Structure 1
Amino acid sequence: MSRISFLRIAAPLACAPASHAAVFPLSTLCASVLATLALAPLPGRAQNAAAPTLQTVDVVDAAPASNGKLNLDTPTETGSRLGLTARETPASVTVVDRATIDARGAQDTQEVLRSIPGVTAHNAPGSMAASYRGFTSSSVAQLYNGVNPQYGSATRAVDSWIYDRVEAIGGASSFLFGAGGVGGSINYLTKTAERSDFAEGQVRLGSYRLKEVSVGLNRRIAGSDHSAAPAHFARIDINHKDAGSWTEGTKTQATQLATSLLSDLGSGFTHTLAYEYQKDHVDRPYWGTPVLQPADGALHIDPATRFKNYNSADGMYEHRVQWLRSVSQWRVSDALQLKNTLYAYDALRDYRNVEIYTFNATNTAVTRSSPYLQRHDQELVGNRLEGTYQGRLAGKKSDWAFGVDVSVNRQTRYPQSVSTTVSTVNPYQFNTENFFDIPGISPGYNPDKDNKISTTALYLENRTLVAPAVNLVTALRHERIGLDLVNRRAVTASSPATFSRSYHPTTGRLAVVWDIAPGANLYAQASNAADPPSGSLASASFSDVRNNSELTTGRQTEIGSKFDFWGGKGSATVSVFQIHRKNIASQDLNNPNLTVLVGEQSSKGIELSAGVRPDAQWQVQGNLSHTRARYENFVQGGLSRAGKVPTLVPQTVANLWVSYAITPAITASAGVRHVGKVYGDTANTQYWPSYTLLDLGLAWKITKGTTLTGRLRNATDRIYAAEARSQVYLGAPRTFDVTLYTAF
């Protein structure tokens, strides 16, 4: 298939080096341009239209301070397509805005997730698996500007600089974004051009040779408040990081770019063209630390191995991503608005590592195994046409959202591995080989299979005022998903040349919201979701597709409340939920070689969040999640796991953030995070104990737009595991960094 450089389209907006340019199919780009032109008004019409009413352009502080309360009254894109605020949405919705990201010093998206009640995540190379409401992996949808790449390795941590905010909705939410999201959906929203002029920059230096530079610029580039001609606003945000690591030999270089052009074209038309480029390169990535034997009960490591890295000397992970979005909006009238989003995603991920390390029975040597060479080549192209309409139904105020979403997701994987012990080394003094010196491993990528996921979805959402202060909120989504597999290796009975499977999930929500008093409500909802029974469709094997004829189903019931208190100084939310997931792929108890869709998993719990600003000096926010998750019916290794806790799911997660303005220019802050124990196996014979982390900060506001902040992270130097399995992926030790931010 012929290809052209993606940067030929993005060049007017960004200046990424040509050597980094990835490519899209020519047909994809043509479709993108044609669809954009079809939805945008003709230039002549825009020139002859009446003068548009534009917002006054002011120079603003690009990093406003948080007011301490929860963000409940800003419309969100994640809890509903009706443009509801978090308060109006009948679900637990969390908004982590830019001010909160900055106030807590979240360096990347993994650290941003700590602000969402009950969410935990690890950042093992190439993936940022999250746990939410008792579910993990593909059962937690991670979206980028409302688009789901449908693959876990697409969710690695990204520097937070290019993101405007992160939104999340707890529990079954496939009716919003499609298959996935039994435990919840997390949406990362990129900064885009605004109708204002500002510039900002940031420099961060820290432990282990951390060096980071970030720049943002937003400008009006054409048009004025007093002209009928179209007005255009451009924005660019770029970040680059060079860093060593607390693990031996690990080095990271990462670059993120987000750029966009916002055009007010007249007659109610606006258009945003946005492009993102992200590249990470990690030398000798850290994959984990071996646990001491016997690995039963509470897991422990030898503190002398805390900083050791058992990967190959030239181990490598690299990830290059490009996004292109064309968003056309038309305000037809005060009641009707239309929006079309054309999107394209291209990713190339490379791995070259020895990944498993195990102590011998006497804890005197470490066995290194699982050499793995892998490439993921993924492309996603789609278009979403949607609208909102404000009207009346049977004389009652009734708002509607409707749309159609079409996408094609292709991925080819190139795995190469050998089942062998690479070496056995002294745990403390050792050298490791270059990767291609391992017997049986050769350079080059040999494709395994192509996975193609074609999705067409229709959705409808409604909110009707059925009684004074009582709204009925409903949603329905139907999808037709086609999965096609093409074998790129030897054809066998278990791996045929091709195989196809189709799925037709229908998901929805039925909810009621009662405004019991100004600033306070109660809600109740029932919703359902669907996701793959054994991982992601983008990497599903022939065995998965042939044996698993259905998607899993998840059903949730939830009640809750959102309210202000203390005369408006504080706000809080509370929710109680129960989720039941069926059709999980499980071994047949009588035939371990057979996989059947009989597995079941349940989860129930409570989530609390609160924010308060008692006076101008103090700000306090916190959240608490307590979850009871269990396998109801699940077989592994011929043994039933019924009644066991799913792996990597903590029962309790709590966070507290406090800041105090010592003077108008100096603010001290502290963050405390507690995570309950997690099991590393389905038999629940191994677990990592609960842990508590402390972060400290001190900020000096030098001028109105310039702030110098020092942060001590993991101040007590706690040894903890962000992921616990046969080996543990440790979190960072105590580190210090200082950040200089300025806006003008």
Structure 2
Amino acid sequence: MRLAFPLKRSHLLCVMAIAVPSAVLAEDTLVVNAAPNSSADAPTQGYTAKNSKGATKTDQPLITTGQAVSVITRQQMDDQNATTVNAALNYTPGVFTNFAGGATRYDTISLRGFHGGDVNNTFLDGLRILSDGGSFNAIQVDPWFLERIDVVKGPSSALYGQSIPGGVVIETSKRPQFNNEGHFRLSGGSQNTAGGAFDYTGAINDQWAYRLTGMTRSSDTQFDHQREERYAISPQLLWQPDENTSLLLRAYLQKDPSGGYHASVPGDGSLYSARGDKLGRGFFDGQSSNNVFKRWEQIYSYAFQHAFNDTWSFRQNTSYTHSNTQLEQVYQGGWNDSRTLLNRYYSGENSSLDAFSIDNQLEADFATAALEHKMVLGVDYQHFTNNLSTEGGTASQLDPYTGWTGGDAISMYSATHAKRRYEQAGVYLQDEMTLDKWHLTLSGRYDDLKTKNTTQQLLYTSDNVDERNDHHFSSRASLLYAFDSGLSPYISYSQAMTPSTLPDINGNLLKPTVSEQYEAGLKYQPPGTSDLYSAALYDLTQNDVGNRVVQGSYYVPAGKVHSQGLELEARTQLTQRLSVIGGYTLNRVRFKDAVDGNDGHTPYITPNQMASLWGQYKAAAGVDLGAGVRYIGKQWADNENTQRMPSTTLLDASVRVNLAQFTPSLKGAFVQLNVNNLTDKKYVAACYGTSYCYWGQERSVVATLGYDF
């Protein structure tokens, strides 16, 4: 699976352009929309959200939340036709999701320079998606089923337990509604992409509501001989006997008969070429007879909440996950000594993961004199067991320019049966205090964590058992002042702890990592609007970091990583017709006290800058136009910082035609065209060292016929 630095004048101009709203343009037609429900559980409206549960686990206005939080709404995902969570996060500052390039098998998310094994910082409906970062069994939820995605930036262990230092990504499912609503989609496009989706919700009676959502999608992908195919469905049932009580039952079922391609090309052949030519973006380094990825996911969950009175309320969220994964893959591992042929290796895995998670929250809303409190006492537990059989071997060498190989034979050098277990139990306490315009939040949490790997080496009849028991206390504090003008400056301190499920070369678990962050920020929300402008400065340090060695799929200690940065974000309805989201990231990440000779170097998969801007304009005659630009700054291809990767700029566009303009009988029907990487820019998205680089996604064109009713 793959603040102390100067601002140049050009950087400052970019910062100002994003941070300061443009003048409001006059419009011929004024459309007045009803104010959306600001609750974090309500359906999102447009490109902005006023509330979030991500940073505090309570329904809190973003303008009084003392932490950087970005919210991607349903409207944004629809307008940009985001078919992966990676794509949905493309326009979010502080977030880098492009390091797998055109591969879409996993949600690969890096926050503030930390990717943490790629798969361990995502949540669904408040509960961790319990993937196993030490295997290929990683859960992925299709964004068609999501209402919103909240990106909480910075260490978050005080509420969520184990946490990647850069933050957490919280996906929220669409919920049943008591008003009838339906959505239908058919799509097709480049790379033989085809799909369909539906979403229906409504009331059964005055106490019961349902939602049924489903989709299917297939594609030949940009890679030769590779295909993606997915089927997913989610039934939901909501019981709400009164305004104080609700019980929501959910199931999410997903089958991926073919998970496409997730491998790499060498830097010599993508970043540059010593042989006078670069490899194509469709380059396939494997063998069709040994290239399989299948995944079958089941997630069953419920959410219960009850308010006893105006002071006390209780919430319980629970989920059970089962996931089966089958992998067979031949992949390249860099050039041979003569630099004429690619060395190739084989990985195989059959795994079965079972996971359970529960979070209990008791909330008290009360006041002591003039000081208002919203206090949450929580107890949560999460556990997974992953039974897997793995194989490793070498394959024949490959001439990538002629396609010649020495044959299809694979020489096995390892075969194992393993059981990987992880368990976390935690208790946390949070007090959100308000005194006039002051907002102080204090959080603390104690965790008991157990990790155990049992491995049986079949070829060498040897067993290895590695077990760790860890205890950790995490804290968070923030102070914010909310001016009447809409300005809210804040400061915060937070900690994170990440117990490792990552094995070293001998199969032993790495030491847990710990991190701490100092953040200062300023938010601005013009009174009476849901527009939000924000700026955040942070200083973040993680200790005992592990880096992945691709060949062999193990990890090595790398010392400390120090990240300093600036993030700017604007989400605004500039006029009744024009919505704009913009973001800018300036990031300085360095190894400190490195144990591998990389002290002072920048880790790979860490662009030094990122910027994005997307505008959606409601033109005349029922036409909506969207356009976006994404800038990804320079990166290093390796932790040794021997090869610099150039920056790249990508353009996206969309156009939607509402068919009701032709006849009233087509009200709700539309056609939409989305083009990503409009200029078909050929670029390397990221590298895990100079032998493992990923081509960026080539131009994709998708047309959608939709009907909303």
Q: TM-score normalized by structure 2? A: 0.85
Decide whether aligned partners of structure 1 residues 307 and 632 sit closer, same or farther in structure 2, where only a CA change above 3 A counts. same
Per the alignment, residue 733 of structure 1 pairs with 698
Q: CA deviation at 1:569?
A: 8.7
Decide whether aligned partners of structure 1 residues 505 and 394 sit closer, same or farther in structure 2, where only a CA change above 3 A counts. farther
Q: CA deviation at 1:351?
A: 1.0
Per the alignment, residue 346 of structure 2 pairs with 371
Among residues 145, 149, 161, which one is paired with 2:125 in the alignment? Answer: 145
Decide whether aligned partners of structure 1 residues 664 and 103 sit closer, same or farther in structure 2, where only a CA change above 3 A counts. same
Matched, 1:108 2:108: no
Unaligned runs of 5+ in 1: 1-62, 225-230, 588-594
Among residues 278, 294, 300, which one is paired with 1:318 in the alignment? Answer: 294
SS of 1:673's equivalent? strand
Whole-Å separation in 2 of the counterparts to 1:271 and 1:64:
18
Q: Which amino acid aligns with 1:449?
A: A
Among residues 282, 285, 291, which one is paired with 1:307 in the alignment? Answer: 282
Per the alignment, residue 618 of structure 2 pairs with 661
Decide whether aligned partners of structure 1 residues 299 and 331 sit closer, same or farther in structure 2, where only a CA change above 3 A counts. farther
Q: TM-score normalized by structure 1? A: 0.81
Per the alignment, residue 195 of structure 1 pairs with 178
SS of 1:87's equivalent? helix
Q: CA deviation at 1:344?
A: 0.5
- Are the aligned partners of 2:505 and 2:556 in contact in 1 as well (CA < 8 Å)? no
- Are the aligned partners of 1:126 and 1:154 in contact in 2 as well (CA < 8 Å)? no
- Are the aligned partners of 1:470 and 1:514 in contact in 2 as well (CA < 8 Å)? yes
Among residues 565, 580, 585, which one is paired with 1:620 in the alignment? Answer: 580
Whole-Å separation in 2 of the counterparts to 1:85 and 1:569:
10
Among residues 133, 154, 164, which one is paired with 1:181 in the alignment? Answer: 164
Deviations 1:510-546 (A, max 9, x none): 11110122422111100110113xxx42x54695656
Matched, 1:710 2:673: yes
Whole-Å separation in 2 of the counterparts to 1:657 and 1:477:
39
Whole-Å separation in 1 of the counterparts to 2:139 and 2:637:
21
- Are the aligned partners of 1:605 and 1:627 in contact in 2 as well (CA < 8 Å)? yes
Whole-Å separation in 2 of the counterparts to 1:387 and 1:276:
27
Matched, 1:485 2:453: yes
Deviations 1:561-589 (A, max 9, x none): 111349859530111101011233599xx
Whole-Å separation in 1 of the counterparts to 2:132 and 2:702:
33
Q: CA deviation at 1:343?
A: 1.2
Q: CA deviation at 1:558?
A: 0.4
Q: Which amino acid aligns with 2:397?
A: S
Whole-Å separation in 2 of the counterparts to 1:342 and 1:617:
41
Per the alignment, residue 113 of structure 2 pairs with 134
Decide whether aligned partners of structure 1 residues 367 and 544 sit closer, same or farther in structure 2, where only a CA change above 3 A counts. closer
Q: CA deviation at 1:157?
A: 5.3
Whole-Å separation in 1 of the counterparts to 2:343 and 2:455:
31
Decide whether aligned partners of structure 1 residues 358 and 317 sit closer, same or farther in structure 2, where only a CA change above 3 A counts. same
Q: Which amino acid aligns with 1:132?
A: L
SS of 1:117's equivalent? coil
Per the alignment, residue 23 of structure 2 pairs with none
Among residues 372, 384, 391, which one is paired with 2:366 in the alignment? Answer: 391
Per the alignment, residue 244 of structure 1 pairs with 220
Q: Which amino acid aligns with 1:339?
A: R
Q: CA deviation at 1:109?
A: 1.0
RMSD: 3.0
Per the alignment, residue 574 of structure 1 pairs with 535
Whole-Å separation in 2 of the counterparts to 1:598 and 1:679:
16
Decide whether aligned partners of structure 1 residues 90 and 302 sit closer, same or farther in structure 2, where only a CA change above 3 A counts. farther
Deviations 1:167-226 (A, max 9, x none): 1111111112111221110111122322221111111110011101001111222x33xx
Q: CA deviation at 1:496?
A: 5.2
Whole-Å separation in 2 of the counterparts to 1:301 and 1:289:
16
Decide whether aligned partners of structure 1 residues 657 and 376 sit closer, same or farther in structure 2, where only a CA change above 3 A counts. same
Matched, 1:211 2:194: yes
Q: Which amino acid aligns with 1:504?
A: H
Q: CA deviation at 1:268?
A: 3.0
Q: How does 1:284-683 map to 2 (within 5 A)?
A: 285-292=261-268, 302-303=277-278, 305-314=280-289, 315-356=291-332, 358-359=334-335, 365-393=340-368, 395-418=370-393, 420-430=394-404, 437-440=409-412, 447-465=416-434, 467-489=435-457, 498-532=465-499, 536-537=500-501, 539-540=502-503, 543=506, 545=508, 548=510, 550-565=511-526, 568=529, 570-584=531-545, 599-636=559-596, 640-683=597-640
Whole-Å separation in 1 of the counterparts to 2:506 and 2:395:
27
Whole-Å separation in 1 of the counterparts to 2:260 and 2:196:
23
Among residues 227, 231, 239, which one is paired with 1:255 in the alignment? Answer: 231
Bigger shift: residues 482-491 or 711-720: 482-491
Matched, 1:689 2:663: no
Bigger shift: residues 378-387 or 558-567: 558-567
Q: CA deviation at 1:413?
A: 2.7
Q: Which amino acid aligns with 1:696?
A: A
Q: Which amino acid aligns with 2:124?
A: Y
Q: CA deviation at 1:141?
A: 1.4
Whole-Å separation in 1 of the counterparts to 2:592 and 2:286:
38
- Are the aligned partners of 1:411 and 1:452 in contact in 2 as well (CA < 8 Å)? yes
Q: Which amino acid aligns with 1:185?
A: V
Q: Percent identity?
A: 19
Q: CA deviation at 1:601?
A: 1.2
Unaligned runs of 5+ in 2: 1-41, 549-554, 661-666
Whole-Å separation in 2 of the counterparts to 1:302 and 1:106:
33
Count of equivalent residues: 646
Whole-Å separation in 2 of the counterparts to 1:278 and 1:620:
33
- Are the aligned partners of 2:91 and 2:613 in contact in 1 as well (CA < 8 Å)? no
Q: Which amino acid aligns with 2:200?
A: L
